[in-house]
Amino acid sequence: MSRRAAALLAIAFLAVAAYAIVRLIRHEQGVQPAIVTPAMDAQQEISPSLAGHIKRFFRERVTYGNRRGRPKLIALTFDDGPYPVYTPLLLDELHTLGVPATFFLIGRDAQQWPELAQRIARFGNEIGDHTYTHPNLDAESDDAVRGEIVQGARALAAIVPAATVYRLFRPPHGRYTVATIRVAQRLGYDTILWNDDPGDWRSVTAAELTEHMERHATAPEIVLLHSGKLATIQALPQVVARFRAAGYRFTTVSGLLEAVPVPQINHPGKRAV
């Protein structure tokens, strides 16, 4: 082997190694896929080995420094509830703004407030499964995880029209393991996580939420929000206006999946609004 060939081989090896190390570091910092479908390798997507990172490097062929042309689509998702007072306020604001959304409802809460779950569907939003009792699934057995998903789905199916309930699952608190995702996969669910968590589950202001979403905007994007937060409702007019002014279109998670390949959602382009 010539010196030039050996040098090129060494450079290629170092590039792959550097990429794999960076991906491993990013994973340790909490980076996750936005979507895991039933067809995907859950282990590879959530906690890949070094060899898995290298395999992904060659398979994806993504130029991470240049993702121009990615569609400016954004899906607002709202976890928990439904809740009296805040959920109706949220629905009214979304309806006024003409923004469809995806609601991940807790089955037990939907049973307590069925008319609110029905109103979510009636306003043109879609509904996903957020389990029946909202437990920490990373501490549950496979059978318990399955029971939570199935019971949650049954509760929703008894309340709202079937056409509004999608096989979309989000683990409560963002807590899950590879085994959790595999249970959802066996049940035929897409596990929906997110590209951005503005932190409305904390005590934050509407202005802070808006600033965060602008600063962390990607294309395409799934945003994690919550149903029972006044600051979130107050932030929506500014958020919607600014994203629309930047050329974004609001859609549901299922609409996003129909329009954009999953790898583009999991590896979106960075956009400043």
**Domains, the chain, ranges and CATH?**
73-270 (3.20.20.370)
Burial 66-80 (b: 16+ CB within 10 A, else e): ebeebbbbbbbbbbb
Evaluate the CA torsion angle 255, 115, 87, 139 in order and state its sign: negative
Residue-level pLDDT at 26: 46
**What are the residues facing 74 on neighbouring strands?**
221, 250
Among 41, 190, 226, 267, the active-site one is 226
Residue-level pLDDT at 28: 40
Among 79, 80, 129, 196, the active-site one is 79
Residue-level pLDDT at 2: 74
- Reading the chain (273 residues) residue by residue, the pLDDT tens digits are 677 766 566 575 665 555 555 554 444 434 689 999 999 999 999 887 555 555 555 555 444 444 567 899 999 999 999 999 999 999 999 999 999 999 999 999 999 999 999 999 999 999 999 999 999 999 999 999 999 999 999 999 999 999 999 999 999 999 999 999 999 999 999 999 999 999 999 889 999 999 999 999 999 999 999 998 999 999 999 999 999 999 999 999 999 999 999 999 999 998 767
Q: Which of 236, 239, 251 minimizes the C-alpha distance to 74?
A: 251
Q: pTM for this structure?
A: 0.85
Residue-level pLDDT at 253: 98
- Catalytic site residue 79? yes
Report the residue count for the chain: 273
Q: Which of 163, 81, 179, 84 minimizes the C-alpha distance to 130?
A: 81
Give the DSSP H or E segment for 269. Answer: strand 269-270
How far apart are alpha carbons 6 and 220 in whole angstroms? Answer: 40
Residue-level pLDDT at 206: 97
DSSP secondary structure, 34-98, as one string: SEE-TTS-HHHHHS--HHHHHHHHHHH---TT--TT---EEEEEEES---TTHHHHHHHHHHHHT
